[in-house]
């Protein structure tokens, strides 16, 4: 029985394996986790096939509905490679069939996907030179992994001084992404702590983040050695 988010950070392919179990509660929670991680990469990939926002959103909903109804996850095999590769293969197969039958199909299936984005038309950035839709899928996957890891870190650092580890890292990342990077002194002023404290909080925050990132990736690879490979791939996708 799953008691909370920490259950997911246990063994290799834990979420996928949990989604393959007969236990209704565990299966539902694991499938929800998989859908949350992969629906944005799938949506962006489908957009690249020439569909509008509304069409791509509907098709993404249909893919995940079919994914759940047909138990696609049962055919996922850790020995055959990365789970994200499995998702991309199944999306391609599904999309090919759906686009062929698209004009004949009027009924829309309904599945609940993150509601905070309902009605929002996601920007479709220009692809870089020589970049493919598969490259963008992988970049969106990398961003989803980072977002999920940050969520787990926020949960883990809710109390005591640990909250500063998350707040300092969050502020550092926001600053790095902005046009004006904050100095350690400015970050210290924002959090009302000393500059020495910021240095310590960032050091500890980075360590916690790296640990959780490894645990996040461990869920969808077949061996410990593959974790480092995925982290390097993740860095490469984010640099693109």
Residue extents of the structural domains in the chain: 1-124, 131-240
CB-CB neighbours of 101 under 10 Å: 9
Place of tokens 């993404």: 60
Q: Extract long-range pairs of 123-129: CB within 8 Å, 24+ residues apart.
A: 124/44, 124/47, 124/48, 127/48, 128/240
Contact yes or no for 171/187 (Cβ under 8 A): yes
CA distance 146 to 219: 14
CA 193 to chain centre: 32
Q: What is the mean pLDDT of residues 123-128?
A: 52
This prediction has a pTM of: 0.59
Q: What is the mean pLDDT of residues 145-159?
A: 90
List, for residues 7-44, the tens digit of each pLDDT value: 333 333 555 665 556 555 666 666 676 777 788 888 88
Question: Is the backbone of residue 132 left (phi > 0), alpha (psi -120 to 50) or beta?
Answer: beta
Q: What is the mean pLDDT of residues 127-145?
A: 77
Q: What is the pLDDT of residue 111?
A: 42
Q: Is 90 exceeded by the pLDDT of residue 192?
A: yes
CA 107 to chain centre: 29
30 against 106, higher pLDDT? 30
Q: What is the mean pLDDT of the chain?
A: 75
> Quick one: tokens of 21?
């179990």
Angle between helices 195-218 and 184-191 (to 10 degrees): 90
188 against 80, higher pLDDT? 188
How many C-alpha atoms does 16 have within 13 Å on its Cβ side? 25
């Amino acid at each position: 029985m799953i008691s909370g988010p920490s259950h997911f950070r246990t063994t290799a392919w834990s979420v996928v394996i949990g989604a393959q179990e007969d236990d209704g509660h565990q299966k539902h929670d694991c499938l929800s986790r998989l859908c949350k991680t992969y629906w944005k990469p799938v949506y962006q990939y489908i957009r690249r096939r020439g569909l509008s926002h509304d069409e791509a959103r509907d098709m993404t909903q249909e893919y995940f509905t079919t994914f759940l109804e047909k138990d696609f996850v049962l055919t996922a095999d850790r020995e055959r490679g990365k789970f994200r590769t499995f998702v991309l293969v199944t999306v391609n197969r599904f999309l090919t069939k759906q686009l062929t039958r698209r004009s004949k199909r009027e009924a829309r299936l309904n599945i609940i996907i993150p509601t905070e984005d309902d009605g929002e038309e996601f920007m479709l950035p220009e692809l870089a030179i020589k970049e493919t839709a598969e490259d963008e899928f992988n970049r969106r996957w990398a961003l989803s992994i980072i977002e999920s890891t940050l969520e787990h870190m926020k949960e883990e650092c809710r109390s005591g001084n640990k909250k500063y580890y998350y707040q300092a890292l969050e502020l550092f990342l926001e600053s790095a992404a902005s046009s004006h990077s904050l100095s350690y002194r400015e970050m210290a002023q924002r959090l009302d702590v000393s500059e020495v404290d910021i240095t310590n909080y960032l050091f500890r925050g980075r360590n916690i983040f790296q640990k959780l990132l490894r645990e996040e990736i461990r869920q969808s690879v077949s061996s410990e050695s593959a974790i480092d490979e995925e982290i390097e791939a993740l860095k490469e996708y984010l640099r693109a």
